Amino acid sequence: MDLYPLKFTPIFKYRIWGGNKLKTKLNKDYIEENIGESWEISGVKNNETFVSEGYLKGRSLAQLINTFKGDIIGDNVYKIFGDTFPLLIKFIDAKKPLSIQVHPSNEIAKSRHNSFGKNEMWYVMEAEDDAELIVGFDKSITKEEYEKHLKNGTILDVMHHENVNSGDTFYIPTGRVHAIGEGVMLAEIQQTSDITYRIYDYDRVDAKTGLKRELHNDLALDVIDYRVYESYKTHYDLNKNTSNILVHSPYFKTNIIAIEGHMTIDYSDIDSFVIYICVEGSLDINCNNLDYSLNTGETLLVPSNLNELKLKSVGAKILEVYYQ
């Protein structure tokens, strides 16, 4: 049977800093408290998402790739990654600040953990008044000075704090220290990796364990990029009914589309799966004369062998993600 645009059942993750916006704002279905992450499309081992609709319902991402290979993820993507899906798509709700953390490069992650590195990006969907992100450093710092601040508990003083609003976008390459602040809900696109080095966690105790969370400062020291950059936020255009470049990296490409009325997209030149993440409004999608809907907080995987899609909406915004 033919492939079709695929929705998956999310995996919900308890986090010490999690809230309830994934339920109240994005209509996620769970009963637990402090859910900080919704893993929307995941091929991470032991954390795979499963198709939620259609004749492929119940199939995992790995099973789909094993069966359909390049037809679902693209011939070139399959040649590079085999049965491993290269990206992990999440929604994150930070009721409280996340730890200050950093991710290792592909090379370091491979040698230390037999894993991919974790280059990622954030698209802010909602931010409370005065909400902020921590991204990189505000002033040039040596490794020795960094260690001194860490020891003295003043590491936040040298970090770059940036107030954020809905629509703000940040690319977080490996090596860049970062944290999501209190009151921020965002979409995250990242390499398939769960390797995080936590370097500062506000001395918090996890109510579930009664313990402080583990820090990884020895591992982080040689990973951190200590340089200062002129700007950390991504600037982009938002022309209607076209794919506007958001973040194009060697690990994924993300565009943003603001849909007003009708538009048709042709993917015949892209040898890759495409993921739609609806970050505002809702839209109707027609593919091979079948209709699908996508609402705020939902994601859709478009297999590589589906070339033409017709989109219809009044004011929806979607992130368009692919590998090529």
* Phi, psi angle pair for 211, to nearest 5°: -125, 160
Instruction: State the DSSP code for 26.
Output: T
Whether 15 is catalytic is no
Q: What type of residue sits at position 56?
A: L
pLDDT by residue, tens only, the chain of 324 residues: 799 999 999 999 999 999 999 999 999 999 999 999 999 999 999 999 999 999 999 999 999 999 999 999 999 999 999 999 999 999 999 999 999 999 999 999 999 999 989 999 999 999 999 999 999 999 889 999 999 999 998 999 999 999 999 999 999 999 999 999 999 999 999 999 989 999 999 989 988 899 999 999 999 999 999 999 999 999 999 999 999 999 999 999 999 999 999 999 999 999 999 999 999 999 999 999 999 999 999 999 999 999 999 999 999 999 999 998
Q: How big is the chain, counted in residues?
A: 324
The catalytic residue among 176, 198, 204, 213 is: 198
Instruction: Identify whether the C-beta of residue 45 lies closer than 8 Å to the C-beta of residue 17.
Output: no
**Residues with Cβ within 8 Å of residue 114, at least 6 apart in sequence:** none
pTM passes above 0.85: yes
Domains in the chain (CATH in brackets) are 8-234 (2.60.120.10), 244-322 (2.60.120.10)
| Residues flagged as binding site for Zn(2+) | 103, 120, 178
Q: Based on DSSP, count helices (H) and strands (E) in the chain, helices before strands.
A: 7, 25
Determine which helix (DSSP H) or strand (DSSP E) holds 220, and give its type and residue range: helix 217-220
